[in-house]
């Protein structure tokens, strides 16, 4: 803050204080001025409308071509094969640890191409904060250091050793086993690999060194009836933390109703299923281990093909169509407005 102007004879700074005449400093940068008036908006509405409606139709058709078969096997239709007149759900509630049931499925059209099998859970909060947090990614990388406190309340067993794997997510891994039998005799060949994200499989999940002894010496989560090394005894690359069922489960779903990829159809192993699932009668053999009745959860078995987009979901297509139609309506309204407005504002002749 200067209190008096620097008098002319001051020796310092004779330089002119004239500001530089640049486009930026003088705020004269060339600019595009988009003005949204009926004039300029009309083509926008038209283009969006003309573009979105066909896209929408394509997407709806794509979605419609996807075949999907949903089966809720939580209660009624899953009657225990051993205890008569009792649902498996009831068996589990009564303290039974396991139960099997057979459920007939009739596909009235063939599911051609690649076929995927999902299990679905409803009213299941995999996105609960305490649940999402309850894991240790370092452990899953194969590190054998003490696990993070985040895993609570499934951090360590009573004797103090860490659960392998630790945390609520791992502990609650979905453990129903679902097999499909065609025409009463032919087991549908299923693949249990290629169902997890490749990044997970390749980077995020690694077994510790000496996996078999490691898993032997450390307790599995309390809910598990076996160790992680028993998840797929046939395929060491799909065992332990690298088990794809496990990896899929560890990706916590966004919503309380979700589905997870369970198996893929193996089209190579048998002639019958080369082109997909043929039309006909199937039996779903469920080994019912997973209790959901307590929290009013539902369990589903889903057979689905996919399109180039993915699973069946017509929403996006319809949304495109609706937005497209809204734009067309806007186009018409603004066209009328534009015309009448022009008439009103025409200068008197």
Partner 1 sequence: MDDDTKRIITINHGPQQTKFVSNRISTSKYSILSFLPKFLFEQFRKYSNIFFLCIAVLQQIPGVSPTGRYTTAVPLSIILCCAAIKEIIEDVKRHFQDGAVNKRRVLIYRSGNWLYTTWQRVKVGDIVKVLDNEFFPADLVLLSSGEPHSICYIQTSNLDGETNLKVRQGLPQTAHMISSVQLRDLLGVIECELPNRNLYDFAGTLKLNNVAFPIPLGSDQILLRGSQLKNTAWIYGLVIYSGHDTKLMMNSSSVPFKRTNVEQVTNSQILFLLVLLLILCLFSTIAGEIWNYRNKAAHWYLGLTRLTDDKTANSIPNHFGYTFLTFFILFNNLIPISLQITIDLVKFIQAYFINWDIDMYDPETDTPASARTSNLNEELGQVKYIFSDKTGTLTKNVMIFKQCTISGIMYGSGNVAEFNSYELLKNLEYHTSSKQIREFLTLLATCHTVVPENKLNTDSFNDVAYQASSPDEYALVTAVKEMGVVFFRRTPDSVVISFRGQEETYEILNVLEFSSERKRMSVIVRSPNNEIKLYCKGADSVIMERLVADEPNVPLTMEHLESFAKDGLRTLCLAYRTLTDQEYKEWLVRHREASTAINNRNELVAEVAERIERNLILLGATGIEDKLQDQVPDSLSMLLKAGIKIWVLTGDKKETAVNIGYSCKLLSDQLLNLTLDEATLDDTQRQLREHCQTFGDSLRKENLASLIIEGKTLKYALSPSCRQDFLDLAISCKTVICCRVSPKQKAEVVELVKQSTNEITLAVGDGANDVGMIQTAHVGVGIMGREGVQAACASDYTIGQFRFLTKLLFVHGVWSYRRLCKVLLYSFYKNICLYVMELWFAFHNGFSGQILFERWTIAIYNVLFTAAPPMALGLLDRCCSAETMMRFPAIYKMSQNRSDFNIKVFWSWCLNAVYHSIILYFMSYAMLRHDVAYSNGQAGDYLLLGNMIYTYVIFVVCLKAGLESDSWTMLTHIAIWGSIASWFVFFIIYSNIWPTIPLAPEMRGMAKYVFSSMYFWFGLILIPITALLADFIYNCLQRTLYKTLMQEVQEKEVANQDPYDLVMARQTSTVSRVAERLALLKSVFVRTRTPKMSGIIPGPYHGFAFSQEEDGVVPQNQLIRTYDTNIQKPPGL
Helix/strand/coil for 181: strand
239/211 Cα distance (integer angstroms): 9
Token pair for 11: 């020796």
Shortest approach of partner 1 to residue 135 CB, angstroms? 9
Can residue 38 be called a binding residue for partner 1 (CB under 8 A)? yes
Q: Are 317 and 59 in contact (CB under 8 A)?
A: yes
Q: Dihedral sign for Cα 233, 234, 236, 242, please.
A: negative
Neighbours of 117 (CB within 10 A): 23
Can residue 277 be called a binding residue for partner 1 (CB under 8 A)? no
Query: Closer to partner 1 at the Cβ: 211 or 250?
Result: 250
44/58 Cα distance (integer angstroms): 21
Stretch that binds partner 1, among 35-43, 99-107, 177-185, 211-219 (CB under 8 A): 35-43
Can residue 34 be called a binding residue for partner 1 (CB under 8 A)? yes
Q: Which of residues 107-166 bind partner 1 (CB under 8 A)?
A: 114, 116, 118, 124-132, 134, 137-138, 141, 149, 152-154
Query: Closer to partner 1 at the Cβ: 154 or 288?
Result: 154
Query: Closer to partner 1 at the Cβ: 105 or 253?
Result: 253
Can residue 3 be called a binding residue for partner 1 (CB under 8 A)? yes
CA angle 160, 210, 168 (to 5 degrees): 40
Cα 105 to Cα 102, 152, 166, 316, distances in angstroms:
10, 41, 37, 30
What is the pattern of x (binds partner 1, CB under 8 A) and - over residues 40-69? Answer: -x--x---x---x--x---x----------
Can residue 323 be called a binding residue for partner 1 (CB under 8 A)? yes
Q: Which of residues 190-249 bind partner 1 (CB under 8 A)?
A: 194-200, 203-204, 248
Can residue 346 be called a binding residue for partner 1 (CB under 8 A)? no
Owner of token pair 């069922």: 245
Which one among 90, 264, 285, 298 touches partner 1, defined by CB under 8 A? 264
């Amino acid at each position: 803050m200067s209190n008096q102007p620097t008098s002319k004879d001051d020796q310092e700074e004779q330089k002119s204080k004239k500001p530089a005449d640049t486009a930026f400093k003088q705020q004269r940068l060339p600019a595009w001025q988009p003005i949204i008036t009926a004039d300029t908006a009309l083509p926008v509405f038209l283009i969006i409308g003309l573009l979105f409606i066909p896209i929408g139709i394509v997407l709806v058709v794509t979605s419609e071509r996807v075949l999907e078969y949903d089966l809720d096997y939580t209660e009624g239709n899953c009657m225990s094969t051993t205890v008569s007149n009792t649902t498996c759900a009831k068996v589990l509630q009564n303290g039974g640890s396991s139960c099997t049931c057979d459920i007939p499925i009739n596909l009235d059209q063939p599911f051609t191409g690649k076929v995927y099998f999902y299990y679905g859970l409803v009213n299941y909060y995999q996105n609960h904060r305490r649940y999402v947090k309850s894991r240790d990614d370092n452990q899953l990388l194969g590190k054998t250091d003490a696990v993070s406190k985040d895993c609570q309340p499934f951090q360590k067993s009573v004797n103090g050793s860490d659960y392998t794997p630790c945390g609520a997510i791992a502990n609650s891994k979905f453990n129903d086993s679902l097999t499909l039998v065609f025409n009463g005799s032919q087991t549908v060949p299923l693949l249990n690999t290629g169902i997890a994200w490749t990044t997970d499989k390749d980077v995020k999940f690694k077994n510790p060194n000496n996996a078999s002894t490691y898993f032997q010496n450390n307790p599995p989560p309390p809910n598990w009836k076996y160790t992680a090394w028993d998840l797929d005894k046939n395929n060491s690359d799909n065992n332990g933390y690298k088990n794809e069922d496990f990896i899929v489960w560890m990706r916590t779903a966004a919503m309380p109703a979700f589905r997870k990829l369970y198996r893929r159809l193996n089209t190579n192993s048998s002639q019958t299923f080369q082109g997909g699932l043929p039309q006909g009668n199937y039996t779903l053999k469920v080994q019912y281990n997973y209790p959901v009745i307590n929290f009013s959860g539902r369990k589903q078995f889903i057979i689905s093909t996919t399109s180039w987009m993915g699973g069946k979901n017509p929403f996006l297509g319809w949304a495109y169509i609706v937005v497209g139609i809204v734009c067309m309506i806007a186009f018409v309204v603004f066209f009328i407005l534009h015309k009448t407005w022009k008439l009103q504002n025409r200068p008197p002749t």
